[in-house]
Amino acid sequence: MTGTVDEELGGHAYFLAIEDIFLRLRNSATLLPAADYHVALRWHEAGIPLDLIERVLEDVFAKWKERGKERGARGKLSSLRYCAPAVEAAWAEMRELTAPGERVEAPPFHIPARLRALAAALPESLPGREEMASRITLLAGDPPTVEEKLSDLDTEMLARAGAALDDAGRVEVEEAVEKTLAGLRARLPAAELDRSRERLRLQILRQRLGLPVLSLFSPEAESAG
């Protein structure tokens, strides 16, 4: 994801609306992981309407629930990125139907190549980089399954990077968070500012350390085709 923090916050309300839909369907108050913010921003930039996203999420949750009954699976969908392939496929289909003669071709999608590109994008300064890169390239499964596993690795990567900051680095990140929040106080309710604090901290940490978003749909992965 390119651009400054302030530029990326243009889709903040859009993300909060999607998060509310997701949490309602999941019946949980636990907020979405920071990497999901980048998924929503990509959808915002693509112009995907919220009503389409809501319909697709409802369908994905219904199918997840049905599979759980059939296989005795437990647990809940924990990341918006599990739903990303379905949302983006539905958007491509809608664009094709509403623009006759302008068929939307799906881009080439090679999971191993995208995983290798993500592993290569890890900065040399990341603690345990080689081990993390190996775990990324060894992932297997269909896109939703791989996305779910990447979401867990993304959370772990950010935790490692944050723990490795020295005192000066922590202060720098916190100052950037407070500066960004100060610019939002006139536009967002206090409750939404509180919801945004940790997400902003991780977003700023990612940008300052050059950490990629671990997703099959991130710019680093998509460059591999």
Tens-digit pLDDT profile for residues 186-218: 666 677 677 777 777 888 888 888 898 888 877
Q: How far apart are CA 35 and CA 55, in angstroms?
A: 22
Q: Is the CB of residue 160 less than 8 Å from the CB of residue 126?
A: yes
- Domain total of the chain: 1
Q: How far apart are CA 89 and CA 99, in angstroms?
A: 15
How many degrees, rounded to 5, is the angle at CA 58 between CA 225 and CA 93? 45
Task: Give which of 214, 193, 222, 200 is closest to 35, Cα–Cα.
Answer: 214
Task: Give which of 202, 208, 217, 38 is closest to 125, Cα–Cα.
Answer: 208
Specify the length of the chain in residues.
Answer: 225
Domain that holds residue 140: 5-222
Higher-confidence residue: 173 or 98? 173
Question: Amino acid letter at 170?
Answer: R
Q: How far apart are CA 201 and CA 34, in angstroms?
A: 9
Q: Is the CB of residue 174 less than 8 Å from the CB of residue 162?
A: no
Q: What's the sign of the alpha-carbon dihedral 79, 80, 85, 86? A: positive
Residue 127 has pLDDT above 50, yes or no: yes
Mean pLDDT of 117-134: 94
* Angle in degrees, 0-180, between the axes of helices 167-184 and 190-209, rounded to the nearest 10: 140
Q: How far apart are CA 10 and CA 103, in angstroms?
A: 30
Long-range contacts: 183-192, Cβ < 8 Å, 24+?
183/6, 184/9, 184/12, 188/12, 192/16
Task: Give which of 63, 61, 66, 65 is closest to 79, Cα–Cα.
Answer: 61
Q: What is the pLDDT of residues 49-98, one digit of tens each?
A: 889 999 999 999 988 887 766 555 555 777 888 888 889 889 888 887 76
Residue 5 has pLDDT above 70, yes or no: no
Amino acid 75: pLDDT: 59
> Quick one: what percent of the chain has pLDDT higher than 70?
80
Higher-confidence residue: 162 or 106? 162
Q: Which residues contact 112 (CB under 8 A, 6 or more apart)?
A: 137
